[in-house]
Amino acid sequence: MKNLIIRFTAAVLLCAGTLGSMPASSADTYPSRPIKLIIPFPPGGGSDVVGRVLGQWLSTSMGQQVVVENRVGASGTIGTAMIAKAAPDGYTIGLIISNHFVNPALFKKLPYDSVKDFAPIMLIANGLFALVVHPSVPIKSMQELIALAKAQPGKLNIGIASTGTIGHLAYEQLKAQHKVELTPVLYKGAGPAVADLLGGHTQVMFSSYPSVQQYIQSGRLRALAVTSEKRSTVAPEIPTAVEAGAAGLILNDWWGLVAPAGTDKAIISRLHDELAKALASPEVMKRLREVGAEIVANTPDEFAASIPSGIAKWSKVIRDAGIEAE
């Protein structure tokens, strides 16, 4: 009997020791190694700035290095595919922007499902877009632009940074809703498009606000409106397009953070909470305002709900306008 008790006690202790040494769940120990943050766009642009500012914050707050990788090409689809196909363990996350809504209609086949292959973490911020004109154009308001474009169809050239961008979609909306006709001039990026606008080769452009801010302030370009729903705290002096006479012309660039589908909800929650702290930081807010960002910081569920409706909305615009990938 005594030996039986001894053997039973030893078994209980062994079991307790084994349970005590069992590893915690991945969410409990996360992160235990560096995290990769994929940005599907080139260094130096607004997306790169947003990603690197947040990556730097997360490195400090989470105690593990966040390594930023720019994976560029095919309107962001190359880097976005890498996010979708990564292991869903929280060690690969990525930035998506407004073209996530556009690409399903722009490309006949994507290497990922824009809804099902991602676990949304947070819609970080909306980006400000402005309608600007060269000062040689004798108009000072959106209504005057619409009137001139109707009176002289095709006379004004409008610079388009590239196919399917927010600037392109804004023009297509303006054209459809207000029956105006400008002559589109396509470029391979915002830089050359803004340069030609400054040179007077084009006369009109919908541009991200940071790309033209200094030229507006110096008088080299004239801002007619912003396309946000309400006046921006970044440039409160510029009226919205709706205020300025272009009913229905509301659209924003935006930046959001996602993980691969199947990532543990506890990990998504941890990343969301750390991002929320970052976006409440005066230092981070200041840096993001420099790229025209209006902070949103919504929940994973709210961000997830916006993606199917956004794709449906902009797919219709793409189809109606007959826009195709270059």
Q: How confident is the model at residue 220 (pLDDT cuts 50, 70, 90)?
A: very high
Residues of the chain with CATH 3.40.190.150: 30-126+253-321
**Summary mean pLDDT of the chain:** 90
How much is the pLDDT for 10?
47
DSSP 238-300: SPBTTTTT-TT----EEEEEEEETT--HHHHHHHHHHHHHHHTSHHHHHHHHTTTEEE----H
Beta strand 35-39 with 66-70 is parallel
Q: H-helix or E-strand containing 89?
A: none
Per the model's pLDDT, the better-predicted residue between 295 and 46 turns out to be: 295
Residues of the chain with CATH 3.40.190.10: 129-226
What is the mean pLDDT of the segment spanning 281-294? 91
Q: How confident is the model at residue 98 (pLDDT cuts 50, 70, 90)?
A: very high
For 243, other C-beta atoms within 10 Å of its C-beta total 14
Flag whether the pTM goes above 0.75. Answer: yes
Can you tell me the distance from the alpha carbon of 194 to that of 189, in angstroms, rounded to the nearest whole number?
9
Top-tier CATH class for 30-126+253-321: alpha beta
What is the mean pLDDT of the segment spanning 171-189? 92
Q: What is the CATH number of domain 129-226?
A: 3.40.190.10
Cis peptide leading into 184, omega within 30 of 0?
Answer: no
pLDDT score of 178 more than 80: yes
* Structure-token match 């590239």, residue found: 162
Could you tell me which residues are beta bridge partners of residue 184? 158
